[in-house]
Amino acid sequence: MLLSFRGRKTGKSYLQPVSYVSDGDTLLTPGGGKWKLNLREDEPVRVYLRGRYVLARPEFIRGVNDVGRLLLQMMAVNRRVTSFVPIVGPGGQLDRSKLEAAVRHGFSIIRWNLDEQRP
């Protein structure tokens, strides 16, 4: 999916491609990188998803246990998630110390709550 948002400080327009996994009525994306610093939970983002634009509100999941649980859930659906998230050990299991360090340094999972209205 493709996110369209403005920089919080500069007002500059950004387009950010992100991978996602469906989770019921929401979408999950890995939240690494500085781009996520421009998002606010109370502000919807314009998202190009499955050939149309929709609005989605980001919700940051930052707890180590929740991030780990959701990463495993995402990996079960899409093994390529591990290429974006370098905290998986050789056996395909999460490396707890790497996970904790990543969360300490700002890694999160972003749960996207889709709005019914179009932008």
d(CA 117, CA 119): 7
- Per-residue pLDDT, 116: 65
Q: Where are the domains of the chain?
A: 2-114
Structure-token match 């948002």, residue found = 5
Whether domain 2-114 has CATH 3.40.630.30: no
Between 64-77 and 96-104, two packed helices, what is the crossing angle to 10 degrees? 110
Q: In this predicted structure, what is the pLDDT of residue 117?
A: 60
Please provide the average confidence, as pLDDT, over all residues in the chain: 89
pLDDT band of 33, cuts 50, 70, 90: confident
CB 85 within 8 A of CB 32: yes
Read off the pLDDT of residues 60-100 as tens digits, 9 standing for 90 and up.
999 999 999 999 999 889 878 777 777 877 777 889 999 99
